[in-house]
Amino acid sequence: MTALPPPRPLSMIRDFHLADWFTLSNAICGVGALFSVMTYLQRQQVLHVYFAGALVLLALIFDVLDGRIARWRQKSSAMGRELDSLADVISFGVAPAVLAYGCGMQGMYDRIVLGYFVACGVSRLARYNVTAEALAEGGDKVKYFEGTPIPTSILLVLMLVIAAACGALGDQLWFGVLKVMGHDLHPLVLVYAVSGSLMISRIRIPKL
């Protein structure tokens, strides 16, 4: 019986393609944005809201580049696709939701809506992963998206960065706060509900 060769040191990392490193950079930026929000909650220095927004934007740049690099080098893998989805959940699902919480959407209804938003993002990515081959229609490239892509949440992040620049955080959050059955609801959080619903919709968006 032939003996199996000993596993190579760091064999998983050695198998990563160049595009995968850009995908991991996306995830790292998303985690950095979470740390920035936590620092803002501790210190109440608005600069950390800007840092969080900038890191989500940087994550988007890495997200765009990883796909282009994979096509340029003609190297892609199932692991790369899973890495991309996991990174996107952090950077464009969890990070925007936590940023909203940090900016003042902290009521019970706010948390429910933000949880719904993240769940929609996760569901959107899962659906994409299992239908990508069908959406490609026999080609190598997906021809359209079903539902808005999760990176569109960068628009929500931009909204909150503008709010921060206007001093509209916490008690000064745009549109104020409503009391519903004894619990707080910030109407601004409803844009997250709309964004999440669009992600899981059947709207077809051509992929450029």
Domain membership of residue 11 (yes or no) is no
**Dist CA 137 CA 133 (whole Å):** 7
Closest CA to 52 of 21, 111, 97: 97
Give the model confidence (pLDDT) of 128-162 as tens digits. Answer: 888 765 555 555 566 677 889 999 999 999 999 99
Q: What is the pLDDT of residue 44?
A: 94
As for how many domains the chain has, the answer is: 1
Residue 195 resides in a domain:
yes
Task: Give a yes or no: residue 4 inside a domain.
Answer: no
Residue 8 lies in a domain: no
* 188 residue type, one letter: L
Domain around 195: 16-206
Q: Does the predicted model carry a pTM greater than 0.75?
A: yes
The segments of the chain whose pLDDT lies below 50 read: none
Helix (H, G, I), strand (E, B) or coil at 107: coil
Residue 84 maps to which CATH number? 1.20.120
Alpha carbons within 13 A on the beta-carbon side of 208: 2
Per-residue pLDDT, 145: 74
DSSP states of 159-204: HHHHHHHTT--GGG-TT--EEETTEEE-GGGHHHHHHHHHHTS--E
* Residue 30 maps to a domain: yes
Residue 82: the pLDDT is: 83
Is there a domain that residue 83 lies in? yes
Instruction: Say what the pLDDT of residue 91 is.
Output: 97
Domain contains 58: yes
Residue 180 lies in a domain: yes
